[in-house]
Amino acid sequence: MNQRYEPLDPAVARRLVDRAGLADVFDKVESGVRLSPEDGLRLYETPHLAAVGHLAHRVRLRRHGHKAYFNNNIHINYTNVCQYSCKFCAFAAKEGEPRAYTMYGADIERKLREYDDLAPTEVHMVAGIHPREGYDYYLEVVRAAKRARPDIHVKAFTMVEIDHMLKISGKTEDDVFADLREAGLGSCPGGGAEVLVDRVHKATFRDKIGPQQWLDTARKVQRHGFKMNATMLYGHIERPHERVQHLVQLRELQDECGGFMAYIPLAFWPFHTGLERHGHVTTGWMDMREIAVGRLMLDNFPNIKAYWIMLTPESAQTALSFGANDIDGTVTEEKITHDAGTTSPERMNRDDLIRLIREAGYQPVQRTTTYEEIEVVDAPLAPSH
């Protein structure tokens, strides 16, 4: 690790937050008192980003010290055919379009075997909702991954896909989750929540599940013993008080079920989407605040992830000092954000991830999907140039 990134001297920190009018929030953070929705709104609205970041950094250090997690993972977006038309999505295609594709069991097995060099511990699989593929298709997606790599952790299906399976299976909820477990599902990623607010749902993704259904489905997933993550897609039409509402609902569900592993704010990329004309690429200012407010409001979430695909590697690295303790993984072949114009690469080498973490003053730790530590990386890297 390079020189450690340490928090400010307490007296200096106090002056910083006093100047930002956040002394009472500082006191709450120091004494572990939960922040209110009004506090959350103030964190979004203050121009003193450094003060917000400092508060989040203190919480991050208290929970994780200087550790920063990454994993060796592969992404497979197994079909882009989707019956829905979310306005922020550039990935989905309709059947018959030249860019439409669907992967089946053999394709998934082949794809997983391509990455032997990476020694992946996780495959992350999400996709469109294909109008003609049935319940067994989803089970086969999971089984194929396990056939190719029996030891791999399959993190698959957003709440949109889980809800779809529950509806089309003709089976009970208990049977569906038993089938998924038997097929080899390990956990669920956190996508599909977008912004858990009715106004945003109606305006941008009205034909797929809305806030209450997302929360209800997440509750089912967790009650059936699966861990999962939670996301928020920010930087389009949502307003600060709606982001607070989103975070408070996640926090309440975590109080109830306790199955969220990480919160992952997702920066919106507008290109080729139905929101392109509203669109600006999110700024570093906005990205750092989103990470920091997430860390401060979600006091019951163990991990905050800076997802480099959407943030860019440079911003994800900086986010480690704004409350994030995880930078995601090697990824490979991500399509959803790339179709919307992200400038990030499709894949990151393990050494590059480690270099990003070390340069920012943190200790790289390779983790499993469920945050068990695999390796504290102390070995020197090959020179980068």
Using CB under 6 A, list all residues that contact ligand SF4: 82, 84-86, 89, 91-92, 128-129, 160, 208
Supply the minimum distance, in Å, between the C-beta of residue 206 and ligand SF4: 11
The two three-digit tokens of residue 273, written as one number = 């989407």
Residue 25's alpha-carbon distances to 17, 29, 31, 51, 240, in angstroms, are 8, 6, 10, 10, 18
Closest CB to ligand SF4 among residues 232, 324: 232
Closest CB to ligand SF4 among residues 64, 201: 201
Quick check: 200 and 238 in contact, CB under 8 A? yes
Residue type, 153: H
Closest CB to ligand SF4 among residues 208, 236: 208
The two three-digit tokens of residue 321, written as one number = 């000092």
d(CA 183, CA 19): 55
In 3-state terms, what secondary structure has residue 257?
helix
Supply the minimum distance, in Å, between the C-beta of residue 87 and ligand SF4: 9
Supply the minimum distance, in Å, between the C-beta of residue 193 and ligand SF4: 11
Supply the minimum distance, in Å, between the C-beta of residue 271 and ligand SF4: 14
Question: Which residues make Cβ contacts (< 8 Å) with residue 188, sequence separation at least 6?
Answer: 155, 156, 157, 158, 159, 162, 221, 226, 227, 228, 229
Supply the minimum distance, in Å, between the C-beta of residue 91 and ligand SF4: 5
Quick check: 192 and 170 in contact, CB under 8 A? no
Supply the minimum distance, in Å, between the C-beta of residue 161 and ligand SF4: 9
Residue type, 25: V
Closest CB to ligand SF4 among residues 113, 167: 167
Quick check: 161 and 126 in contact, CB under 8 A? yes
Closest CB to ligand SF4 among residues 41, 168: 168
The two three-digit tokens of residue 34, written as one number = 């939960």
Supply the minimum distance, in Å, between the C-beta of residue 198 and ligand SF4: 17
Closest CB to ligand SF4 among residues 143, 201: 201
* Backbone φ, ψ for residue 271 (5° rounding): -65, 140
Supply the minimum distance, in Å, between the C-beta of residue 78 and ligand SF4: 11
Alpha helices in the chain (DSSP H): 10-19, 23-31, 37-45, 49-64, 105-113, 135-148, 159-168, 173-183, 198-204, 211-223, 240-257, 284-297, 308-311, 313-319, 336-339, 350-359
Closest CB to ligand SF4 among residues 76, 129: 129
Closest CB to ligand SF4 among residues 128, 329: 128
